[in-house]
Structure 1
Amino acid sequence: MGRVTEIKGKPQEGEWSTGFCDCCADCSSCCMTCWCPCVTFGRVAEIVDQGSSSCCAAGVAYMLSLFTVCGSVFLSCKYRTKMRKQYNIKGSECGDFLKPFFCERCALTQAYRELTKRGFDVPLGWQGNVDRHNAGVGMGAPVVQGGMMR
């Protein structure tokens, strides 16, 4: 579930790895989203944007959008659509708008859980995940103890 399968060279659409209302699956992100949705949004946006936006900048944009009519819903919709297309998850732009419209916090926690299920440590951000992924890869030539001897 949630994985993309391939038939005749074409990737097929997968499902979300968790349900829309599965908030109890991760109580910590659910509580954080309940009290500070700007933090959840910022973390999700940074990873979906692959580091081109920062968690803080996205979180502030989200917080400021709360003062406009449906501004935060449009931001959530934009990133939900971007994430769905990035990971080839079934859905539509209409659903990407309606889910945040009716329960924005459920939509944010679902996106957070999806990134976690896909192997991201979301609080680390994009660069932290890249560094963690590359931790086992050595750079440069190996160091030889005692130098070269004949």
Structure 2
Amino acid sequence: MNPPNSQSNYAQPPYNQAPATGFPVSAGYHHQQTKANQEWSTGLLDCFSDCKTCCITYWCPCITFGRIAEIVDQGSTSCALSGAVYTLICCLTGCGCLYSCMYRNKMRHQYMLNDTPCCDCLVHWCCESCALSQEYRELQNRGFDMELGWHGNVAQGSRGVAMAPTAPPVVHMSR
């Protein structure tokens, strides 16, 4: 047993971090983490600051959404596939926001952005075009060339993202 004032060999978690117990983290710790989130680089209603994006998003939101989804998914889905799924959901339900709000949520968590002015689903439900335009501008302001897509940005190195490492060469050993 350790004396009361001696140092333990076990690392202590930082003051504001929950101890690793294997149990779900209480809401108090989650609330502390969300306070450190960043503000969006532009406001939700700043959609008219970029007329080109605003017009594309208003008349054909599947293009804007597809580009956002490709970047947020880090190239695992293509712009065309995401845009097609968005269009299909719009045609079947009339509510593309059912799909696009999930990507806003994913993007917010990737970049630690605040959920302002309200929750993601409500933002997309009330103003789909403004929400998509804000997400598009946020990614542009973070250095992405949205027209290139994920793989084009990686190849160009516009964000300093290194290419995925390749497998090491196979070395054949003989006896």
Shorter-chain TM-score tier: 0.7 to 0.9
Following superposition, the deviation at residue 22 of structure 1 comes to: 0.2
Following superposition, the deviation at residue 71 of structure 1 comes to: 4.0
> 2: distance between equivalents of 1:82 and 1:38?
18
Counterpart in the other structure of 1:109: 133
Counterpart in the other structure of 2:102: 78
Task: Say if 2:75 is the partner of 1:56.
Answer: no
Q: TM-score, normalised by structure 2?
A: 0.68
SS in 1 for 2:41: coil
Counterpart in the other structure of 1:30: 54
Following superposition, the deviation at residue 67 of structure 1 comes to: 1.9
The structure, 1 or 2, with the larger RCO (C-alpha pairs under 8 Å, 6+ apart) is 1
Following superposition, the deviation at residue 69 of structure 1 comes to: 2.8
CA RMSD, aligned part only?
A: 2.4
Which of the two has greater helix per residue? 1
Following superposition, the deviation at residue 68 of structure 1 comes to: 2.9
> 1: distance between equivalents of 2:94 and 2:125?
8
> 2: distance between equivalents of 1:36 and 1:79?
17
Following superposition, the deviation at residue 26 of structure 1 comes to: 1.0
> 2: distance between equivalents of 1:64 and 1:71?
10
Counterpart in the other structure of 2:22: none
> 1: distance between equivalents of 2:129 and 2:92?
17
User: Which runs of 4 or more aligned residues in structure 1 lie more than 4 Å from their structure 2 counterparts after TM superposition?
Assistant: 8-11
Structural mapping, 1:1-150, within 5 Å: 12-69=36-93, 71-91=95-115, 95-133=119-157
> 1: distance between equivalents of 2:94 and 2:38?
29
2:51 alignment partner AA: C
1:105-128 Cα offsets, whole Å, 9 max, x none, are: 101000000000000001100000
Following superposition, the deviation at residue 132 of structure 1 comes to: 1.0
